[in-house]
Chains A and B, each alone.
Chain A
Amino acid sequence: MKTDVCPDHDLLDSHLLGKLHGEQADSIDQHIEICDQCLATAQEVDATDELTEGIRAGKPVLHGSENGIEQVIERGKLLYPQTKTIEADETVSDYHLPQSANEPKAAIGGARKNIDSEIDFLAPPEQPGEIGRLGRYRVLEWIGSGGMGVVFRAEDPKLKRQIALKVMKPVVAASRSNKKRFRREAQAQAAVRHDNIVDIYENGEDLGIPYIAMPFLRGESLQTRLKRETKLEQCDVLKIGREVAAGLAAAHQHGLIHRDIKPDNIWIEENTGRTKILDFGLVRTEGDDAGLTQSGMAVGTPKYMAPEQAQGQSVDHRCDLFSLGSVLYHLVTGKTPFSGGNCHAILRKVSYRSLEPLDAVCPTLNPDFAKLIMRLLEKDREQRPETAAEVVRLLTRIESSLRANTVQFDETLENSATTNQPVTPPPVISQTAKPSEPPTSGNGGHDNNYDPQPASPLPNPVTETTWCGIAKTFAVMAAVLLVPSLIYLAGNALFRLATPDGTLVVSVTGDDFVTTVKGKKVTIENTLTHDKYTVDLLSPEQTKKLPRGEYKLLLTVSSGLKTRTDRFTITGGKNAKVEVWWEPKATKVEYVWPKDQPAPAIAPFTAEQAKEHQTAYAKHLGVPVETTNSIGMKFRVIPPGEFRMGSGEGEILKLVAEAKEQDFDNWLDKSIPDEGPQHKVVLTKIFSLAIHEVTRSQFRRFVEATGYKTDAEKDKRGGFGWKDGNWVRDPKFLWNTDLGFETEQTDDHPVVNVTWNDSVAFCCWLSKKEGVTSRLPTEAEWEFACRAGSLTRFSCGNEISLLKWSAWYTGASRHTTNEVGTKAANAFGLFDMHGNVWEWCADRHGPYTRATVIDPAGSSQGEMRVMRGGAVFLHPTSVRSAVRGYNTPNSPNDNFGFRIVRSFQKAKPATIPSDTD
């Protein structure tokens, strides 16, 4: 409708400002489009107001990065359509539920009516005690109901056994797709027979209602237990975790994803204590994304679900691992990892919020266990352990390590009891008020009070020099058992913990408490008399009289010796447990590189830089980069430098898992953890390393010159080799004989069947002959030279595809060594560092420490000698730069060889800083 009437001045003003609406506005628009009069008026009217002024004033600058704004918008949009109002610990299912079926579980008061409506589909009862019949089962009792089903206690009249009958609600069963799915899930679950998954007896249908018959489990759900106990003991959690993971592993193997792992769905059987996974109501077949689920819908239980579930993305078996992590987290801390707020808030936290580290929330937890739980809770599923089976293995390992500790201590106790001690009855000394009474409960010595008591700062600061030795100790957790019944073991070590850097001895002499830690101070306070007994540990050993009674144990926190159990009781009849451990002090070992030499080679560095370092140091010494010794062995300059030795924690976990999965050699599996802790190593001295493993011809020179007999020759058993298709030890297998390899041994093959002793003998001969020291490399020198600046698994990177160009390895059981130098050299110009033959190193094999070490020379104890580089018959994983092999110094083998270091006479003595901070 067009108007011919010109709007007046004010009306036009309003119109131009967009204040008019509807037909009126339309007609005025049409009018002024052609009206010259109005055009003239329009030019006159002001037509400005707050709105136009606001536009004109420009856009206010808002806080927030573009990225941040984009994110809040995306997240906000996801809030619609609204998720049903549900509790965060309720399962959100993707069944197509009619409105009425989805009502929350009946409250106790109004339960009766609901139950009636939930059993009226049953066939009428036929015998007393029944509430109805379904299939061949006598339904005895309503147990509970959820969104889609009802669970009854029932009896199988034929077998006379009690069962649990899970029945789909008729309203839900009205949907054919629901029914189909219910049946399919039951079938899938029935296919998995596992100790940790509830069995399925029958998967049937009666009166149009599908049902599942399962064992009637006695016991309680984990949820019930959690309600009672809030949190559980570590050992219980480990067991539950392992069993759930084992159940999941079985389910996953059948391609089933549970999708709803939570305490409600984990059952602890009454008598066996066995864990069973219940309720496969949301189970999914892996790879089955189509049809049954509305896409983009979060399915599961918010408090425990994985981020990918919370975001309604497609899931795989790893969502169960996340949920398992959530459950474990809940069990150890007493709260779910993502808690607080409504369902939305939780889904959001699961997706976007990082988790409070477990070691902060729950410091008493075994660190490996804490780490594993945190890994399970990784938002990125790629970062989680790959399989449930791996989780089982890791948990088992943690469990056995915890057990091993206990056993070790027990052994110590037994040794003390049996070896050194005349058996005398425990002395009865009345020193305190009521000595004969058992210790008061609560604060008794056996009470593990995990509230860390702030230790009183002791006035005597331990001198750094004496402490330094202990500070290098890696964290050692030790349970020190003070067992009063053993008090008569006068003068005996009740517990002794040896580390490379010091020994902690806690022992009891009569009623004396003896503690020996160099540079430490322990104060013990009698809680009744407040008498303090200070064990001043600056001297090698101190003894204090310690009458019976209740004590506080005070340790100097600053020095790294810690205890959580601050009280113990010395009395008869009860055990007192004191936990003491060291925490490494952050030591700052900084090596000051001399100014008058080229820059050290500090890893990481590139291949090019590696060569530059070599050139610079060769020039510095006035020698060529590559030199040749008197028997034709070639050496290359290895510059001084720094690198991270060993493998990081994450890498170790990964390697262990990989090795397990691929079923590698057991012996090497076990030694993977020896690659940690990764630590900084400073090598201050320049040396030159043979580019090849010592060959048969080179070793022959030595034997010919000296008439040397190798260990294998001296030992009647000989060395190793292949005989009639078997790998055997035989007197005919020696350094210079045929070893039954597929290819004949030439002069240029690495010498094998030589022991560590033989290698050292070779070096001695050569040193004497040349007047220049030849020796085996230290393990650190070897790894530094092998890495040549790389941080990766192999000097050529992480890729196995590249490794084949520079290393001989197979992974095949039948093996043959190869002539040296037939693959590519590393950045320092060294051949066959990876693979071909194991190479003896000078060091004894011992645990690494976390602290920085300068020119390490291995452990001072132990018989085993280190071997490096792996051998030809091994998998790539076992020829990595960080792999540590070891063997006794007199072990010959057809894959053990060596390469040598030749020192420079001109080498300067390096400045090593004093052993203080």
Chain B
Amino acid sequence: MDSTSVSLLRRLHTDEKEIAWKRFVELYAPLIYHWTLRAGLSDDDAADCVQDVLTLLVDKLPTFAYDPKKSFRAWLRTVTVNKCRETHRRNATVAKSTDPLKPDDAVSPDGVEGFTDQEYQRSLVHRALELMQREFEPNTWQACWKHVVSGDSASVIAQQLGMTRNAVYVAKSRVLRRLRDELDGLMD
């Protein structure tokens, strides 16, 4: 197994950048979509807003990756909040021009603000795990999953999966390592 895995952010600069971008989208689009919906946008607006954010990312990600001082999470959220506000503003103008009585109350970017760091990380980790699952041997994956999620002892898992206890620990270590590598620079 290749142990020197390169983070997703870095891969966006390599020859694999097209594949990396697709992974990035798979990883982040649902989360951004969730934010934009929570910000009170309609389905259509939310989907467009996601695309706006991603359009910006496709341009800006290269410069971002080399700036480890920045928090990607905070940056992404700021970008998303701004795009949501833009959409709201546009809608409000449209609404005002046709219906002066409609209150300008649709703007609630708090939906995004209220989304906690913990939730961000959890969503990201789970989404990444989903996407990465097929990169592992089923047993390796299962061993890690069971050990981390169900808290079963290494002996129980070893018995269930027909592997040594040692292998269970190795499996856990590998999956988590891979996960950390992949998300390097994205979690904070």
Residues of chain A contacted by B21 (CB below 8 angstroms): 77, 79-80
Residues of chain B contacted by A29 (CB below 8 angstroms): 3, 170, 173-174
Partner of B121, one of A28, A54, A64, A348: A54
Are B154 and A75 neighbours in the complex by a CB distance under 8 Å?
A: no
Residues of chain B contacted by A75 (CB below 8 angstroms): 47, 50-51
Q: Indicate with 1 or 0, residue by residue over B116-136, a CB within 8 angstroms of chain A CB atoms.
A: 001101110111010000000
Chain B binding surface, main DSSP class = helix
Most B C-beta atoms less than 10 A away, residue of A22, A26, A71, A79: A79
Are A59 and B123 neighbours in the complex by a CB distance under 8 Å?
A: yes
Are B118 and A69 neighbours in the complex by a CB distance under 8 Å?
A: no
Residues of chain A contacted by B180 (CB below 8 angstroms): 18-19, 51
Are B175 and A26 neighbours in the complex by a CB distance under 8 Å?
A: no
Q: Indicate with 1 or 0, residue by residue over B25-41, a CB within 8 angstroms of chain A CB atoms.
A: 11001111110011000
Residues of chain A contacted by B30 (CB below 8 angstroms): 62, 64, 69, 72-73
Q: Complex Cα distance A65/B44, Å? A: 12
Partner of B55, one of A23, A32, A34, A344: A344
Residues of chain B contacted by A33 (CB below 8 angstroms): 164, 166-167, 170
Residues of chain A contacted by B18 (CB below 8 angstroms): 80-81
Are A50 and B121 neighbours in the complex by a CB distance under 8 Å?
A: yes
A48 to B, closest residue via Cβ: B148
Q: Complex Cα distance A738/B101, Å? A: 76
Give the size of the chain B interface in residues (CB under 8 angstroms).
Answer: 58
Please count the residue pairs between chain A and chain B whose beta carbons lie under 8 angstroms apart in the complex: 161
Are A55 and B177 neighbours in the complex by a CB distance under 8 Å?
A: no
Are A18 and B174 neighbours in the complex by a CB distance under 8 Å?
A: yes
B 23-79 contacts with A by CB, 8 A: 25-26, 29-34, 37-38, 43-44, 46-48, 50-52, 54-55, 58-59
Are B50 and A32 neighbours in the complex by a CB distance under 8 Å?
A: no
Are A72 and B51 neighbours in the complex by a CB distance under 8 Å?
A: yes
Residues of chain A contacted by B138 (CB below 8 angstroms): none
- Does B151 sit within 8 A of A, measured CB to CB? yes
Assess A56 versus B151: contact at CB under 8 Å? Given A51-B179, A71-B47, A73-B29.
Answer: yes
Q: Complex Cα distance A81/B17, Å? A: 9
- Does A25 sit within 8 A of B, measured CB to CB? yes
Please choose the segment from A35-43, A393-401, A574-582 that sits at the chain B interface, where 4 or more of its residues have CB less than 8 A away: A35-43
Residues of chain B contacted by A73 (CB below 8 angstroms): 25-26, 29-30
Are B148 and A18 neighbours in the complex by a CB distance under 8 Å?
A: no
Most A C-beta atoms less than 10 A away, residue of B127, B154, B165: B165
Residues of chain A contacted by B37 (CB below 8 angstroms): 63-64
A18 to B, closest residue via Cβ: B176
- Does A764 sit within 8 A of B, measured CB to CB? no
Assess A25 versus B154: contact at CB under 8 Å? Given A62-B34, A75-B47, A76-B50.
Answer: no
Partner of A55, one of B22, B48, B129: B129
Partner of B125, one of A16, A26, A51, A352: A51
Residues of chain B contacted by A345 (CB below 8 angstroms): 52, 55
- Does A854 sit within 8 A of B, measured CB to CB? no
Residues of chain B contacted by A62 (CB below 8 angstroms): 30-31, 33-34, 123
- Does B178 sit within 8 A of A, measured CB to CB? yes
Min CB gap A498→B, angstroms: 36
Q: Complex Cα distance A50/B121, Å? A: 9
In the complex, 18 of the A-B residue pairs with CB atoms within 8 angstroms, ordered by the A residue number, are A15-B173, A16-B172, A17-B176, A21-B181, A32-B169, A39-B165, A51-B180, A56-B151, A62-B123, A64-B46, A68-B33, A69-B33, A72-B47, A345-B52, A345-B55, A352-B44, A352-B47, A353-B48
Residues on A lying within 8 angstroms of B by beta carbon are 15-23, 25-26, 28-29, 32-35, 38-39, 42-43, 47, 50-52, 54-60, 62-65, 68-69, 71-73, 75-77, 79-82, 342, 344-345, 348, 352-353
